[in-house]
Structure formats: structure tokens, C-alpha cells
Chain A
Amino acid sequence: MRLINTLRKHKVPYLFILPFFILFSIFQLYPIVWTVWVSLTKWNGIKQPVFIGLNNYNLLLNDYMFTDAFFNTVVYWVTGVIFIIILSLGIASLLNYNNLKGKGFFKVVTFLPNVSAAIAIGIIFSMLFDKNIGIINEVISLFGINKIGWLTTVKYSKIPVIILNIWRNTPWFTLIILSGLLNIPEEYYEAARIDGANKIQQFFKITLPNLTDILFFCFIILTVNSWKIFNESYILKGPSTSNMSLFQYMYQSGFTAFKMGYASAIGVVLIIILAIVSVVQFILMRKNSEI
């Protein structure tokens, strides 16, 4: 009775959020929870699922394709975090440079990579990095380096994927960091200048400390995005598993090999990794802000 009374009293807001919640629950929450259950079964998606406990996870541990994909994704994640954060900090500082003419133009143009489709750019990259006709090999041959089979050799095939990832994602983080830079009061810099601090000191004493929250936000988003890299490695295929991402392996197991349970186990591994990363980050963050 009390529940019904509450619902009646607050009918309007509940009605406003209800359509959202119905869609969100059926198409986003429920599938994620269901994934955990599917990961404990053997299932081809058609017959009845058979409960097999943690067997899929056992299989994962002995599957070289899984460990390859896992390792590749770690490489994409680490390179992505390092390069994207450094580059976007640099580019944002440039765009924030005082009395710069054409700021608007540069902002619009440098954001374009983030607007263009990863799949299409991936195809363009596969031509740029082509061993025989690609312009990348032409450029490095000017420096006397032999032609490299970027997408045909195990050793190099991750590089185009890493570059595409950085190229496409840096602009978005530049925009976020730039908005953070604009929020730092100009007086801080004035005071530092009066105290005789140079540009580098200003950067480490004022800019970075004031950006901690935003850099933390960037790190989390970058981590989530990196662990679900799919388009880049799907389109820039290397030999065998040389650049396959974890998420791509999940897709392959589920939608081309129809091992639904196995694929779901990979999905659960992804959820666990992201949970650990965010908990660790959260703890570090708490510690930092206490100091």
C-alpha cells in the first residue's frame, strides 16, 4: 500500500524516467547480467544451453588465441593512454596559447579525425601502410630504411592499429583537456610570473595539479575505450592473431564460431578488468586528494 501511495504521489517523475528505464533495462542492463550466466554454459545460441560451471574460464587460460588477444589489447591500452594523454595535453596547451590567431580554425580542423569513421580511415591506413604502394614505406625509404610489410608481418602489424587509435582518439581528449585549461584562473599564472616561475615550472606547479580531475576522467574513459577496441584491429588485419584485440576475439568466438558461452566468458573477463582498473584508480585518487 505504501509503495502504491509513493508511486501515485510521485507519478510524474516516475512516468518521465520510465520509458528510459524500460529501454535501458532490457537492452543494456539485462544483457550484461545475462552474459555472466551465459559464460557458465556451453551454448551455440540455438539449442538449450548446458551448464558447465567455470569450464569456459579454464579453457580460456589454455587458449593461445586468448592470451595473444589479451596481450595485444594491453599493448593498445598502454600505448593509447601514454601517447593520447601526452599528445592531447600538448595540443590543448598549444590551442590555449595566448593571442593565437585562427584558434577557431585549428580547433575545428584538429577535431576532424574524431569525426571520421574508424572503418573508412582503417581502409585508408591499409593503403598508406601497404608494403609496395604505401606512402609510409616511401617516406622511410628516404631515410634509407628498407620497405616494411606493416600489415603482413607479425612483428609490425600492431603499429598501424596503434597509430590509428592514437590518431582518431587524441582530438576528443584534447577537447576535454582544453576545457579544463580554460577553467584554470589566469591569476594563478600571473602570481607565478611575479614570483619568477618559468613556463616549465608553471606547467608542473599550476597546470598539472589543476588538471588532475580531468586527467583522471580521461584515463578512465581511455581505459574503457581501449579494452573494447574493435574497429581498428578488425579492419587492419595482421597475420593470424598478431593484432587481434580481446573484443575482436569475443566477436569471433560468438558470432562466427557460435561459441556463445565461451565468448561470454571473454566478456566477463573484460568486465572484471575494467572493474579492477576503476577501483584501483578510485583508491589512488582518494589518497591523492587527501594529501
Chain B
Amino acid sequence: MGYIKARKGNIIVYILLGVITFISLFPIIWMCIIAFKGTGESISGFNSLWINNPTLKNFKNVFEVIPILSSLYNSIFTTVMGTITTLFFCSLAGYGFAKYQFPGRDFLFYFIVATLLVPPEVGSIPLFIIMRRLHLINSLWSVIIPKAATAIGIFYMRQYIINIPTEVIESARIDGSSEFGIYLKIIVPMIKPALATWTLLTVIARWNDFFWPLIFLRSTVKHTLMVSISLLPVSDGLSTPWPVIMAGTTFAIIPVVVVYIFLQRFLKSGISAGAVKG
């Protein structure tokens, strides 16, 4: 009896998870289907659910609607540089907070953590003025630099580094390592899992970022993919070239989904360590 009951429970769980999986994936899969549809094929209602004559034409047409190559380059550049800078500044300062005693340490740290509750977007107007004075409007660095030092990043790195045994650091010091050498040669290799998690989370956030590129990158050649995508000619009904637009959004979604699927194994242990141990 118990066995049958357990199997029944299993089936319900699988059905529910199946539904959730379907809801999670549907918009993305459906986007891909539309992107491969030719001009003659109906894209409305249930007709949109299968493809009769798959075509790559839409992907070619995206190039005519938006400057997709420069947008792709800008997105990749800001994502890569944004991730590298965040990893460096946050892990270095996180190490400082985790493994050194110095006056004002706790105050400074909790002060940073307290600012987590104020979204930086609130300060976007002064930040825009600062960027203009630094002549960084329309420079890709304007979206990289402000996010290089984030409260959440330093919090996460400190939580991870604090668990590294201090003896390791002390013995390296006795062996004559310089302090920065310890960070580079001992700490960085030891926090690889944390760096990997943070890389994944930052890549997703940087790639998908829309607000900051929208206000700082005002010329078309400097637009990131998200800004370009938002300018696609979406209007009501059939006058919209939906297959071409879906081909465009595919460029925006698929790369980061692929990165995620390759790196997701770092996510499970990583994200919870930062969020829960706090």
C-alpha cells in the first residue's frame, strides 16, 4: 500500500514539475519557432506553434533593422570587462574585510551592506551628470565602471573568504610572500568556486542590463544588444515583422542561456552560500 501511495505522490510531483518546466520554457522555444518561420507562414494563434518550411532569412534581415554586429560587440565587451573588474575589486576588498583586523572595519562593512537596500538606480541623475563631466557618455566604460564595485559583490566575496583557514595565509606569510602575492597566489586559487559563481551571475546581469546602457549610451553605434532590441519596430498586430523581431531577440537570449547551461553547476552551491549564511 505504502509503495503505491509513494508512486502516486511521485506522479503528481512529476506532472507539476512538467507544467512548471513547460511554462518556464514556452516563451523561449516559441520565440525560436517564430524566428525560423518564412514570410508566407501564419504566425497567429495556434498556427504559430509549428514550422513547415524553416528558413534562416529572418536572421539575415535582422542586420537590416538594427546594427546587430556593433551591438553584439558592445554587449560582449561590456559583459567581459564588467565581469573582470567586478571580480577583481570585490574579491580584493572582500579579502581585506575577511582576513585583516583594522580600525573601522566592521563599521565600513556594515555601512556597505546597509546600502544594499537603496537601489543605485535612484542616483541615476547625478551619475549621468558625473559621466558627462568625465566625458564618458557614449563610452562603453560608463556602464562598466559604476558596477565594478558593488555592495552585493563584496558581501558575497567576504562570506566566502572568511571560511578559508587563516593558517594557510600565515604560513605563506612566513614563507616570505608579499601581501598582494598572498591574495593573488593563495586566495584567488582557493576561491575559484566563488569566482565562478560570481562570473556566471555577473555575466547574466551585465548582458541583460538595459537601464544603464539606455541612459549612458545614446548613439546608435554604441548601443548594446538590449537597447537595440528595444528599438525593434514592435507595434500592434500583423503590421509588425514578428519573425524578424523574434530572430533579433534570439540573439539577446540564446548566448547567455548557453553560457548558463555550461556553467550552472557552479550556481547551486555558490548562490546559496552568499544568501543564506549572511
Binding site for A on B (CB under 8 A): 9-10, 13-14, 16-17, 20-21, 23-25, 27-28, 30-31, 34, 43-46, 48-49, 89-90, 92-93, 95-97, 100-103, 105, 108, 112, 115-130, 145-146, 148-151, 154, 179, 183, 204, 207-208, 210-211, 215, 226, 229-230, 232, 234, 236-238, 240, 242, 245-246, 249, 252-253, 256-257, 260-261, 264, 267-268, 271-272, 275-276, 278
The distance in angstroms between the C-alpha atoms of A250 and B127, with both chains bound, is: 14
Most chain A Cβ neighbours within 10 Å, of B28, B30, B204: B28
Contact B226–A119 (Cβ < 8 Å):
yes
Candidates B92, B108, B246, B257; contact of A115 at CB < 8 Å: B257
Further contacts, 13 of them, CB under 8 A, given A95-B17, A124-B30:
A12-B179, A13-B101, A16-B95, A21-B93, A23-B89, A23-B149, A27-B127, A27-B146, A116-B208, A119-B208, A124-B249, A127-B245, A251-B124
Which A99-137 residues sit within 8 Å CB-CB of chain B? Answer: 99-100, 106-121, 123-128, 130-135, 137
Candidates B21, B149, B246; contact of A20 at CB < 8 Å: B149
Residue of A at shortest CB range from B112? A24
* Contact indicator per residue, chain A 45-78, by CB within 8 Å of chain B (1) or not (0): 1000000000000000000000000000000000
* Contact indicator per residue, chain A 124-153, by CB within 8 Å of chain B (1) or not (0): 111110111111011000000000000110
Contact B256–A115 (Cβ < 8 Å):
yes
**Chain B contacts of A175 at CB under 8 A?**
267, 271-272
**Chain A contacts of B278 at CB under 8 A?**
217
Residue A286 is within 8 A (CB to CB) of chain B in the complex? no
Contact A123–B43 (Cβ < 8 Å):
no
Chain A interface size band reads 35 or more
Contact B102–A179 (Cβ < 8 Å):
no
The distance in angstroms between the C-alpha atoms of A18 and B117, with both chains bound, is: 22
Residue A194 is within 8 A (CB to CB) of chain B in the complex? no
Candidates A45, A121, A274; contact of B253 at CB < 8 Å: A121
Candidates B21, B120, B183, B268; contact of A28 at CB < 8 Å: B120
| Cβ contacts A to B, 5 pairs, < 8 Å | A94-B16, A113-B24, A120-B253, A133-B45, A267-B122
The distance in angstroms between the C-alpha atoms of A108 and B16, with both chains bound, is: 16
Given contacts A176-B276, A230-B121, A255-B215, contact A14 B16 (CB under 8 A): no
Contact A117–B21 (Cβ < 8 Å):
no
Contact B130–A132 (Cβ < 8 Å):
no
B195 to chain A, nearest CB (A): 16
Residue of B at shortest CB range from A109? B21
B140 to chain A, nearest CB (A): 15
Residue A6 is within 8 A (CB to CB) of chain B in the complex? yes
The distance in angstroms between the C-alpha atoms of A110 and B16, with both chains bound, is: 12
